[in-house]
Amino acid sequence: MSGAPTVAPEKPGPSGPAVHTGLTLLALATAGMVVSVQQTLVIPLLPRLMERFDASVTSVTWVFTASLLAGAVATPLLSRFGDMYGKKKMILLAMGLLVLGSVICALSGSLGVLIAGRTLQGTSSALIPLAIGMIRDTFPRERVTTAIGIVSATMGVGGTIGMIVTGLIADRTESHHPMFWIAAGLAAAGLVLIAVSAPDVGVRTGGRPDLLGAAVLAGWLVCLLLAISEGNQWGWTSGGVLGLFGGAAVLCAAWVLIETRVREPLVRLGLLVGAKSLSANLASALLGFSMFAAFTLISSFVQSPADKIGYGLSGSVLDVGLYMLPSTVTMLLFSALAGRIVGRIGAAHTLAIGSLFAGLSYVWLAVSNEHGYDMLAFSTIQGVGFGIAYAALGTLAVQHVPMDQSGIASGINSLVRTAGGSVAGAVTASILAGRVIAGTSVPSLDAYELCFWIVAAGAGLASLVALGNGLRHR
């Protein structure tokens, strides 16, 4: 934990009033929860959207994946802007784009327009690292880890709330439009709360944005995710899929070259793969893979009709959210306790423990998934794991960097987490589409169980990476 101080001293901005940290935390946590709600709002609706637009599972999955992809590109860009021009301005911009994207989705009448609106919504993912940077700028040292934990926990809590809201509305209408009007209203309320409550303080570096780096980053991520998602349909050895993989590799190499040559890169590669950053970012990618894969898998599995296909829980859209409710409770509880755990054993070892619990939750489902109590047990354990892990991860990502780089360091960590989630959506959709019940297009139970094992392995690897970091950087 050597290097720059972890937090700024508790003091007002250069010429502004004193910062009321409790009100600031409430505003940031509320806005973070709204952002997380939009990420999962559509997940329980994916089966219904397939029928509504007469689209394949891989096509409809882009309603979810496009949001994550946009977040992967926007997060480092807006985080960099936050360090340059002020974090509050960029948080308000992210919330404004969320409002606009929600309105477009609420008015959408085609899959293409819906995906475009979801892309705009996804840019709001940058809010979480910006919020973490703001906390580091303004909160006293003893409250930073707990505050980061609470804001980080909103990713899981808001995700569950999003599925519950969708379930309540879906039981009363076949249309997907009301969910997005609700998202627009929540985003507008969050924007106002941030505007009146959050401080506009912190060191500003100035500089120029790396727009070329952002464009090339978007290009290689799109190529990679499109190749993964369409591999089964086009054929893994087809010219289209191989061409996309090749394009992703070339663009990725070009992106690395750009980032090493420009004066002010979008992503400082030292903060991405440096000695103290690599393990935190690798663990973040693996945890993002695990969490976002679980959202899509659980939604489909719970709604699978057991009496017709031999597995599933025959649940409604609302049941999806209710089964995940224990995760919300345990995640909130353990994210608040994570600060004390980090204080005792360090962020890396705390992250290892949280990741291990998350992995065990998926192992439970891979082994036993026939009853409702299996899903409730999974949800409870998963909440413990992610509540601890994400609180520690937010601290681990920024504790070794100077104050004026906290936004971009947190943004890069969020970037790789979101990229991991994007890959998860494409990978699990590919497995479910490739392993089906004979004579149907319905995924088999083996396909789901394989996905659960893969997701458990991702969380387990995150635990090992974090443990290695703790042992190496005592």
Domains of the chain, by residue range, sit at: 21-209+264-472, 210-263
Q: What are phi and psi of 176, to 5 degrees?
A: -90, -5
Residue with tokens 């306790």: 337
**Number of C-alpha atoms within 13 angstroms, CB side, residue 335?**
28
Return the SS3 of 436: strand
Query: Tens digit of pLDDT for each residue in 232-241?
Result: 678 778 898 8
Structure tokens at 209: 């944005």
Of the two residues 214 and 157, the one the predictor is more confident about is: 214
- As a residue count, the chain comes to 474
pLDDT per residue as tens digits for the range 115-135: 999 999 999 988 888 888 888
Alpha-carbon distance of 22 to 361, in angstroms, equals: 33
Secondary structure of residue 56 in the 3-state scheme = coil
Q: How far apart are CA 146 and CA 265, in angstroms?
A: 31
Distance of CA 201 to the CA centre of its chain: 26
SS3 443: strand
**Lowest-confidence range among 38-42, 86-90, 252-256?**
38-42
The predicted model gives 76-101 an average pLDDT of 89
Share of the chain above pLDDT 70, in %: 90
Spatial separation of the C-alpha atoms in residues 455 and 350, rounded to whole Å = 20
Q: What is the pTM of this model?
A: 0.73
Residue 135 vs residue 230, higher pLDDT: 135
- The tokens describing 380, both together, are 């409870």
Task: Provide the pLDDT confidence category of residue 12 given band limits of 50, 70 and 90.
Answer: very low
pLDDT value of residue 8:
39
More confident residue, 407 or 157: 157
What pLDDT score does 407 carry?
65
| pLDDT reported for residue 206 | 62
Report DSSP state, residue 172.
T
Distance, CA of 39 to CA of 426 (rounded, Å)? 15
Rounded CA separation 427/451 (Å): 9
**Where are the alpha helices (H) located in 171-277, listed in sequence order?**
177-197, 211-234, 239-261, 269-273
How far lies 470's CA from each of 34, 335, 350, 352, in Å? Answer: 33, 20, 9, 9
Q: Using a pLDDT cut of 90, give the percent of the chain over it.
A: 30
Which of 25-29, 176-180, 340-344, 418-422 has the weakest average pLDDT? 418-422
In DSSP terms, which residues pair with 436 in a beta bridge? Answer: 443
Beta bridge partners of 443: 436
Q: 460 or 68: whose pLDDT is higher?
A: 460
Residue 202: which pLDDT band, with cuts at 50, 70 and 90?
A: low
Query: Half-sphere exposure of 104 toward its Cβ, with a 13 Å CA cutoff?
Result: 19
pLDDT one-digit tens code per residue, 293-341: 887 788 889 989 999 999 999 988 788 888 988 988 898 888 878 878 8
Q: Is the pLDDT of residue 53 over 60?
A: yes
Asked if pLDDT for residue 5 goes beyond 60, the answer is no
**Which of 55-59, 319-323, 461-465 has the least mean pLDDT?**
55-59
User: What is residue 9's predicted lDDT score, i.e. its pLDDT?
Assistant: 40
pLDDT at position 221 is 79
Instruction: List Cβ neighbours of 14 (8 Å cut-off, separation of 6 or more).
Output: 201
Mean predicted confidence (pLDDT) in 19-48: 82
Which residue in the block uniquely carries the two structure tokens 């050597």? 2
**3 pLDDT higher than 60:** no
Q: Do residues 62 and 233 touch, judged by C-beta distance below 8 A?
A: no
Per-residue pLDDT, averaged over 346-355, amounts to: 92
Confidence of residue 16 (pLDDT cuts 50, 70, 90): very low
Task: Say what the pLDDT of residue 156 is.
Answer: 67
Q: 168-203 burial string, b = 16+ CB within 10 Å, else e?
A: ebbeeeeebebbbebbbebbbebbebbeebbbebbe
- Residue 452 in this model has a pLDDT that exceeds 90: yes
Give the model's pLDDT for residue 97: 95
User: Residue 159 corresponds to which tokens in the numbers above?
Assistant: 């995700």
Least confident of 271-275, 278-282, 468-472: 271-275
Tens of pLDDT, residues 397-425: 777 676 666 666 777 777 788 778 777 87
Select from 108, 112, 98, 100 the least CA-distant residue to 30.
98
Q: How far is CA 437 from CA 314, 371, 441, in A?
A: 17, 21, 7
pLDDT of res. 271: 67
Most distant pair of Cα atoms in the chain: their distance? 70
pLDDT at 17 over 60: no
φ, ψ at 36 (rounded to 5°): -70, -35
428 has pLDDT over 70: yes
CA distance 179 to 461: 36
The CATH code of the domain at 21-209+264-472 is 1.20.1250.20
pLDDT at 109 exceeding the cut of 60: yes
